[in-house]
Structure 1
Amino acid sequence: MVSFADVRRWKPEGLDAVHNDLGKRRDDLVNLQDELDGAKNPEGWSGKAADGSAKQHEKLVSDMRSLVAEVATVRVAVAAAADDVARIKQQIEQADHEAQANGFEITEEGGVRDVKPPQDVPEDQLEQVKQQRIQVRDKLVETIEKILDDAEKADAELAKALTSAEQDKIEPGKGGSLADAANTDDIQALAASAGKPKDDSPKAAAEWWKSLSDEQRAALRENPPEWLGNRDGIPAEVRDEANRGRIDDVRNDLEQQKRQLEQGGVSEDEKEKLQQVNDKIKSLDEVEKTIAKEDPPRQLLVLDSSGERMKAAVGVGNVDTADHVSVFTPGYTTTVQDSLGDYDSKMADLVKESKAELLRNGKDDSVAAVAWLGYEAPQKSEDTDVFGDSVVSSSSAQEGGEKLNNFYKGINQSRDTDPHLTAIGHSYGSTTTGYALQGGGHGVDDAIIFGSPGVGTNDIEDLHVPEGHAYRLEAKDDQVADFSRFGGDPSHMDGFKDLSTEKSNEGKGVEGHSDYLDTETTSQHNMASVVAGLPDNTVEGKTNGVGDVISYVPHQTQEAGSAIYDFGEKTVSGAKDLGEKTVSGIKDFFS
């Protein structure tokens, strides 16, 4: 029998730690598959010794499969229990608050004591007040009884799993591998009973996940369906577990594709495909290297090997619980294999600086930041005619913007409380960010663009960001920021607040296109202040590039929602030949 005093002392974080440890043990066991296969009798060995060895190997396989099944089953039970305990502890806190607000106290034994009865109650209201207090007391008693019932059930379910494991009553899942053994019939049944979201929207995914029982969620986390890790609206912690669990499968699929392409030599037509597969394998290497970082822990929120290039997103910190969450989208030439590690480090620096800014202002809020490489950014290997319908067309940004819009929505909708959410975009990634924001319904509280060739519109209201909460940064000699290819130059858009990139009391200045996120710079300080929800701490200032002093006349193109600026023959006084210099610089950047 579980006592109320026992329940008060329960700690869900302890169960979470056990759940994580069991996951590591399970993975260690499953990873012994190669050694197990290597221990089979060598081909051609026969006789009594060979027969005895074969029987011993068969028994070892059976024992290992049973052990894996037991660990998986107990892990599911522990995960469910952790969720139960967290919910029960929340109910106790709410009951304590209700009791205190009405002058009652819930004792260690679960009784209800009247410690502060109202004083000086008029005689004609005594009976009414008495009845009201009786109702409050009875409601508290009822709440405590329900808490104890829930606690008893949670305790019994966990004990059942532990007993079954101890008595070797758990049957491994079908299939010959150790991984198959973890997928027991009971776990399969629970996962199957969960069904699927009604559609692909983040809202549907969030509603579906929240509607499941603790046992169903635990079963899905133990053996997640392939789509779970990339589904916007699912909690970040769950996506991280699911995507980490898929890495080996994705790698095996890619290695198999590589072997098939290399059989009998590689034709000219297959060389490009083989290069894509090799790049995806390198991308997986970079993903594993990045998510192995632990200070702070990383979350793998996207792992998508479809298409020409790998897509990935890695969170620094806990996206499920952070008070402030930012999502950074990089641009042109970005790839997972060459860029993820660097941008992850920059997000870690941004988180560190944001937290330092909060502490400096007497706040202890938590911060998380995501490096989102969830779209296929244009590459130098593609057609790079900067003035043609190619790398600087908006197609990649528009397609990526739809995905990014859903990613924003998923963060908000997967949580019980909305975080302060900041969208950040650099270069072509700011264009992708612009299209994502134009999709609306994203819940973004602040937006930052830097080194931007345009956000796909000339009207800031199209971005659906609260007034006064859109920021832009432009560094000296950043010619891309004057490109004005997608909706015009943001430097000339009303509604953006200009933040300094020059030397100040808060940091060093930056120049060119690529150093905005460097540590100890004014630009990084400004972004960290916005991410931390402290815009008053920013350093305002505008740096005009060569393109900003050129007279321009907007004219419409066939590309919907965009305008390019005609550098034309007119230049302002003293700006002779600057138009030619700007175009040359942009061509150099994209070459």
Structure 2
Amino acid sequence: MVSYADVRKWKPEELESAHSDLGNRRNDLVGLQDELDGAKKTDGWSGAAADASAAEHAKLVDGMRSLIAEVATVRVAVATAADDVAKIKKRIEEADREAEANGFQITDEGGIRDVAPPQDVPEDQLEEVKQKRLQVRDKLMADIEKILDDAEQADAELAKALTAAQQDEIKPGEGGTLADAASTDDLQALAASAGKPADDSPEANAEWWKSLSDEQRAALMEAPPAWLGSRDGIPAAARDMANRANIDNVRGDLVAERDRLQEGGVSEDEQKKLDEINAKIASVDQVRETIGNEEPPRQLLVLDPSGERLKAAVAVGDVDNADHVSVFTPGFTTTVDGSLANYDDKMRELVAESSDQLAASGKGGEVAAVTWIGYEAPQTSETGDLFGDSVASSSSAKEGGAKLNDFYQGINASRDNDPNLTAIGHSYGSTTTGYALQGGDHGVDNAILYGSPGVGTSDIKDLNVPEGRAYLLEAKNDPVADLGRFGTDPTHMDGFTDLSTAKSDQGAEVTGHSDYLNPDTTSQHNIAAVVAGVPENAVEGSTDGVGDKISYGTHKTREGVEAVQEWGSERWSDAKELGSDAWSGVKDAGSKVKDFFS
């Protein structure tokens, strides 16, 4: 029997810590899949020893699968208990406050003690005050009884899961991998009972998730359907779990498709498809390697094998709880297999620099940064496709921008409190970012664009970013930043705050198109300052390239022509007015002469 004193001592944070530890243990066990596969008896080995080895291997696999199923089941129970205990503790605090406000005290036994009855109550109000206090006491008694009932239920459910695990009563999920073992029948049934969102908008996804019971959410974390990982508006932790659980399936499907194509020879048309599949397999392998980094932990927020190239997004840090979140979108020639590792490293360095600036400013808070390769950026091989996927076309940027807008929305929609959200775009990725921001309702607080060939508009108001919170960086000898290919060259758009890329007390200079995020540079310092919510730390300043000087000269020439045209127009107007007056005078004089001779 759970007592009120026991419940008062419960600590939901300890259950949350246990839930996290169990998740790490489950991941460690699932991560042994390759070693288990490698430990199978080799082809050509036969005999008694081979049979004994195979039997031991099968026994080991069965034991591991059972252990993973038990860990998954207990983890769901712990997650549910942690949520239940947190709610119960909050109700206890509310009951204690109400009791104290009315002169009562709730004892460790769950009783009500009258410790501060009202004094000097007028005679004619005594009965009214008495009845009111009796009502408060009765309500407190009912609240305490309900709290103890719910606490007893939470304790019993957790004990039930622990007992089932201890007595080996939990049957592993179907499937041949260790990851499949975590999806037990009970967890799958509970996850299936959650249904699906009404549609695939960030708002609908977020509302659906928040409407679920604690048990359903916990089950979906352990036995997630594949579609859960791609839904903007779902918490990052849940998306990460779903996408990690789906990696083996995605890779397996790609390998099966590759093997099918290779059967009986490959035609010229099939070779292109085969090359795409091999690149996707390499991309999946790169994703797996990247999310294996744990300092800080990574979150896999997008894993999309559709289309010509695999799309992915990986976060450094905890997007669900970070106070400051940035989303970086790279540009031309970006691929998951060729670019993710480098950009993930840059985001790790950016998080570290942003955190250092927060600490130096005397401000607390956590930082997370996402590398978003959720669109198919133009490639060198597509340069000739001027009206399609070429870097000279806005087609890919517009398509990617729509997805990126949903991604921004999803971060805010999935959380109870909005983070300081920063959109970062480089090169063609800044164009994609520009189109995403023009989509509106994105919840982005700051936009940082660098090496930008344009943002798809000539008016900064179209980006829907708070005034003064759009920042631009251009390095010396960066030709792309002067193209102005997509809308006006941002350098000449009113409303951007120019941040320096030159040498300063805060870091070294960067030159060219690709080094803005290099550590120990002024540009990285400035980007980190905005991400960390301390833009006052940034060093302002602009760099004019050759294109800017030409553009400036053209701009001044245009101003001169417009001024001459305006002057000429004014003089012509004056001349017309003067001529009109003169002609009127001549007519008047002629009329007088005519009258005289008449």
Counterpart in the other structure of 2:234: 234
The separation in 2 between residues aligned to 1:512 and 1:520, in whole angstroms, is 16
Answering whether residue 83 of structure 2 is matched by residue 80 of structure 1, we say: no
Q: Structure 1 residues 378 and 153 mapped into 2: Cα distance closer, same or farther (>3 Å)? A: same
Q: 1:51 to 1:300 in 2, by over 3 A?
A: closer
In the alignment, which residue of structure 1 is the partner of 2:276?
276
Say whether the 8 Å CA contact 1:402–1:435 is kept in structure 2.
Answer: yes
SS in 2 for 1:197: coil
Identity rate, percent: 67
Superposition map of 1:218-367 within 5 A: 218-367=218-367
Count residues in correspondence. Answer: 557
Are 2:387 and 2:395, in contact at CA under 8 Å, matched by a contact in 1? no
Change (3 A) 1:421 1:125: farther
Give how far 1:148 is off: 2.9
Shift of 1:73: 2.6
- Displacement of 1:82: 2.9
Across the aligned residues of Structure 1 and Structure 2, the Cα RMSD in angstroms comes to 3.5
Richer in helix (by share): 2
Instruction: Look up the equivalent residue of 2:540 and give its one-letter code.
Output: E
- Per the alignment, residue 491 of structure 2 pairs with 491
Would the aligned equivalents of 1:551 and 1:570 in 2 still touch at CA under 8 Å?
Answer: no
Question: Which residue in the other structure is 2:215 paired with?
Answer: 215
Q: Quick one: distance in 1 between partners of 2:50 and 2:540?
A: 79
Q: State whether residues 179 and 245 of structure 2, in contact with CA within 8 Å, keep that contact through their aligned partners in structure 1.
A: no
2:157 aligned with 1:157: yes
DSSP 3-state at the match of 1:550: helix
Quote the offset at 1:297 in angstroms: 0.8
* Pick aligned residue for 1:34 from 10, 33, 37: 37
Which amino acid in 2 is paired with 1:23? R
* 1:148-547 alignment, distance < 5 Å: 148-174=148-174, 180-384=180-384, 390-547=390-547
Encode CA deviations 1:505-545: one digit per residue, 9 max, x unaligned.
22222211111111122211111111111222222112122
Alpha-carbon distance in structure 1 between the residues aligned to 2:120 and 2:273: 85
Cα distance in structure 1, aligned partners of 2:188 and 2:505: 60
Higher CA-based Rg: 2
Cα distance in structure 1, aligned partners of 2:105 and 2:307 = 61
- Secondary structure (helix, strand or coil) at the match of 1:284 reads helix
Tell me if the contact between 2:30 and 2:178 (Cα under 8 Å) persists in the aligned partners: no
Moved more, 105-114 or 366-375: 105-114
TM-score w.r.t. the length of structure 2 is 0.83
Output the amino acid matched with 2:404.
Answer: L
In structure 2, what is the equivalent of residue 9 of structure 1?
10
Which residue type is aligned with residue 450 of structure 2? F
Q: Post-superposition shift, 1:258?
A: 2.0
Greater CA drift, 413-422 or 284-293: 284-293
8 Å Cα contact 2:347-2:371 kept in structure 1: yes
- Cα deviation per residue 1:26-61 (whole Å; 9 max; x = unaligned)? 526766763797599988x79xx9999999888777
What's the CA shift for 1:243? Answer: 1.1
1:563 alignment counterpart? none
1:23 aligns with 2:29: no
C-alpha displacement of 1:468: 1.5
Q: Matched residue of 2:382: which SS?
A: coil
Show CA shifts across 1:328-373 (max 9, x none).
1111111111111111111111111111111111111111111111
Partner SS for 2:208: helix
Structure 2 unaligned segments of length 5 or more: list them: 561-598
1:228: how far off?
Answer: 0.8
Shift of 1:267: 2.2
Change (3 A) 1:353 1:273: same
The structure-2 alpha-carbon separation of the partners of 1:129 and 1:68, relative to structure 1 and needing over 3 Å to count, comes to: same
CA distance in 2, matches of 1:40, 1:540: 66
SS in 1 for 2:447: strand
Cα drift, residue 321 of structure 1: 0.4
Residue segments in structure 1 that go unaligned for 5+ positions in a row: 554-566, 574-591
Cα 1:174–1:423 change in 2 (3 A) is closer
Whether contact under 8 Å (1:23, 1:75) holds in the other structure is: no
CA pair 403-141 structure 1, distance change in 2 beyond 3 A? farther
**What secondary structure sits across from 1:498 in the alignment?**
strand
Q: 1:469-521 CA distances to partner (integer Å, 9 max, x unpaired)?
A: 11111111211111111111111111111111112222222211111111122
SS at match of 1:435: helix
Q: Is the CA contact 2:446–2:465 (under 8 Å) kept in the aligned structure 1? A: yes
